[in-house]
Amino acid sequence: MIEVGIAGLPNAGKSTLFNALTKANASCAPYRFTTIKPNVGVAEIKDERLNLIAKVENSEKIIPAAIKFYDIAGLIEGAHKGEGLGNQFLSEIRTCDVICHCIRGFNLNSEPEPDIRKDADTVNIEFIYSDMELVQRRIEKIRKKAESGDRQSREELSVLSYALSELNNLVPLRKLDYKEVEKIKSYLPDLITLKPVLYVLNVEDPKSQFSNMLFEELKKLAAEEGAEAMMVAAKLQLELEEINDDDIRSDFAEEFGLYENAVSKVATACYKLGHLITFFTTANKICQAWELKENSNILLAAEKIHSDIAKGFIKAEIVNWNDLVTYGSFQAAREAGKVFIEGRDYIVQDGDVIFFKFNR
Ligand SMILES: Nc1nc2c(ncn2[C@@H]2O[C@H](COP(=O)(O)OP(=O)(O)O)[C@@H](O)[C@H]2O)c(=O)[nH]1
Ligand SMILES: [Mg+2]
């Protein structure tokens, strides 16, 4: 399950966003909204494709993919030195796949006017300092061995020294060359600035000029960093989630310009950043969505479901969800030449519906 850490300055609206996202779910088990800890929640990712596939396949149950959110508090200037709640919370971000950086885009009496770049930088610099510390510590640990001539340690030392020099220049590591990023990741996978970032501008009113002016600024900043940006009205979105009547709900969403499904919006952006795709299965009358790393072969997909399917893998029949739905049945899609038989080297594509054949 993809894990997303919601970070940002105090009063940016992180908890409001967290609540909006984790409440935005109901319908089918097993995920729903589950509170693991007060600040950890799992939301199911509504995916219209699932409903359409389920209909064609006469599935009796739908199981969406899920996304885990952490509401990460305690990040203030100096957090890396233990200010505020300090490192305890930075360590929670380290295990996440994507950082959702929440930026305040509304006025609050106790806070100065929103300042996109300044606010973003304050947090980004804490991340950089925190990574610096981790890299330094690791370097100290391996230095002796490297200096004694151990080849592996020397390689690691050279990679980490490079990372440290970039951090010293206040460069987040995700901005480096893909190859360098992969090397650094192989030694220290938990560095925060290696992680992809989704900037979320939290606004009062998504239709206002003020909000949109701030959003333009944020998009510019995100583009410079190769990050993604979106605008959410967390407080209104949370109110939307508390409306049960479908008609009133969609009127409310339309009036205020809200996402009917904020989780899907966030999940789509996070999947893109995390290089994840979705494939589907319909075995045992259960229509299920699964996440998978881009460029994975079909054995990895099989492994996700059950190691026995990977072990006993013979072949798979694959149809794109859109072809399946367009032709109205698996059989009709097959007759139209849209079902493909693939072996173990097949690279799974987003939207594949997969029927595994395996020795039990
Ligand atoms: N006006 C306005 N207030 C908001 C919005 N989102 C959050 N707030 C308020 O801002 C304050 C801080 O929000 P909170 O979610 O606790 O921020 P956190 O410190 O980042 O977790 C609370 O009083 C929220 O009600 C918003 O979109 N508009
Ligand atoms: Mg909070």
Going by pLDDT thresholds of 50, 70 and 90, the confidence category of residue 24 is low
CA of 71 to the centre of ligand 2 (A): 7
Residue 32 confidence (pLDDT): 37
Residue 79 confidence (pLDDT): 66
Domain boundaries defined on the chain: 2-46+64-110+196-273, 119-193, 295-358
Instruction: Tell me whether domains 2-46+64-110+196-273 and 295-358 share a fold.
Output: no
Please state the atom number of ligand 1 nearest to the C-alpha of residue 8.
20
Whether domain 2-46+64-110+196-273 has CATH 3.40.50.300: the reply is yes
Going by pLDDT thresholds of 50, 70 and 90, the confidence category of residue 35 is very low
Residue 337, φ and ψ in degrees, nearest 5: 75, 25
Of all ligands present, the nearest one to the C-alpha of 211 is 1
* C-alpha distances out from residue 306 to 54, 67, 299, 303, 344, Å: 21, 20, 10, 5, 15
45-54, 67-76, 157-166: lowest mean pLDDT where?
A: 67-76
Of all ligands present, the nearest one to the C-alpha of 21 is 1
Residue 147 has pLDDT above 80, yes or no: yes
- For CA atoms 186, 178, 87, 229, give the dihedral sign: negative
Q: How far apart are CA 75 and CA 221, in angstroms?
A: 21
Residue 26 confidence (pLDDT): 35
Residue 36 has pLDDT above 70, yes or no: no
CA of 238 to the centre of ligand 2 (A): 14
CA of 31 to the centre of ligand 1 (A): 27
* C-alpha distances out from residue 72 to 46, 91, 100, 187, 316, Å: 24, 10, 10, 25, 41
Going by pLDDT thresholds of 50, 70 and 90, the confidence category of residue 28 is very low
Please state the atom number of ligand 1 nearest to the C-alpha of residue 73.
21
Residue 149, φ and ψ in degrees, nearest 5: 105, 0
The percentage of the chain sitting over the pLDDT mark of 70, rounded to a whole number, equals: 92
- Contact between residue 261 and residue 24 where contact means Cβ atoms under 8 Å apart: yes
Please state the atom number of ligand 1 nearest to the C-alpha of residue 233.
27
Using CA atoms of 187, 192, 195, 196 in order, give the dihedral in degrees to the nearest 10. Answer: -160
The percentage of the chain sitting over the pLDDT mark of 90, rounded to a whole number, equals: 73
Of all ligands present, the nearest one to the C-alpha of 114 is 1
Please state the atom number of ligand 1 nearest to the C-alpha of residue 202.
27
The DSSP 8-state label assigned to residue 297 in this structure reads: B
Residue 25 has pLDDT above 50, yes or no: no
Ligand 1 contacts (CB < 6 A) are: 8, 10-16, 106, 108, 202-204, 233-235
Residue closest by Cα to atom 27 of ligand 1 = 204
Residue closest by Cα to atom 24 of ligand 1 = 13
Q: How far apart are CA 312 and CA 308, in angstroms?
A: 6
Cα angle 106, 213, 202; round to 5: 35
Residue 82 confidence (pLDDT): 67
CA of 169 to the centre of ligand 1 (A): 33
Task: Tell me the per-residue pLDDT of 173-191, one tens digit each, with 9 for 90 and over.
Answer: 999 998 999 999 999 999 9
Q: How many helices (DSSP H) and strands (DSSP E) are in the chain?
A: 14, 13
Residue 37, φ and ψ in degrees, nearest 5: -130, 170
- 44: three-class secondary structure by DSSP: strand
Residue 135, CA atoms < 13 Å, CB-side half-sphere: 28
| Cα Rg of the chain (Å, integer) | 23
Please state the atom number of ligand 1 nearest to the C-alpha of residue 9.
20
Task: Tell me the per-residue pLDDT of 303-333, one tens digit each, with 9 for 90 and over.
Answer: 999 999 999 999 999 999 999 999 999 999 9
Residue with tokens 């996202």: 21
- Contact between residue 9 and residue 75 where contact means Cβ atoms under 8 Å apart: yes
Architecture of the domain delimited by 295-358:
Roll (3.10)
In CATH terms, the fold of domain 119-193 is DNA polymerase; domain 1 (1.10.150)
Residue type at position 169: N
Residue closest by Cα to atom 26 of ligand 1 = 204
Residue with tokens 């072969």: 297
Dmax over CA atoms of the chain, in Å, equals: 72
100-104, 240-244, 289-293: lowest mean pLDDT where?
A: 240-244
Q: What is the mean pLDDT of residues 145-149?
A: 90
CA of 2 to the centre of ligand 1 (A): 25
Residue 72 confidence (pLDDT): 86
Pocket test of ligand 1: the residue of 22, 235, 236, 240 to mutate, having most ligand atoms within 8 Å of its CB, is 235
Q: What is the mean pLDDT of the chain?
A: 90
Going by pLDDT thresholds of 50, 70 and 90, the confidence category of residue 225 is confident
Question: Please, is 288 exposed, middle or buried when counting C-beta atoms within 10 Å of its C-beta (0-12, 13-18, 19+)?
Answer: buried
53-67, 243-257, 274-288: lowest mean pLDDT where?
A: 243-257
- For CA atoms 337, 338, 341, 344, give the dihedral sign: positive
Q: How far apart are CA 60 and CA 248, in angstroms?
A: 29
Going by pLDDT thresholds of 50, 70 and 90, the confidence category of residue 83 is low
Residue 80 has pLDDT above 80, yes or no: no
Residue 86 confidence (pLDDT): 59
Of all ligands present, the nearest one to the C-alpha of 8 is 1
Residue 225, CA atoms < 13 Å, CB-side half-sphere: 27
CA of 235 to the centre of ligand 1 (A): 7
Residue closest by Cα to atom 7 of ligand 1 = 13
CA of 111 to the centre of ligand 2 (A): 15
Residue 75 has pLDDT above 90, yes or no: no
CA of 354 to the centre of ligand 2 (A): 41
Type and span of the H or E element at 165: helix 151-168
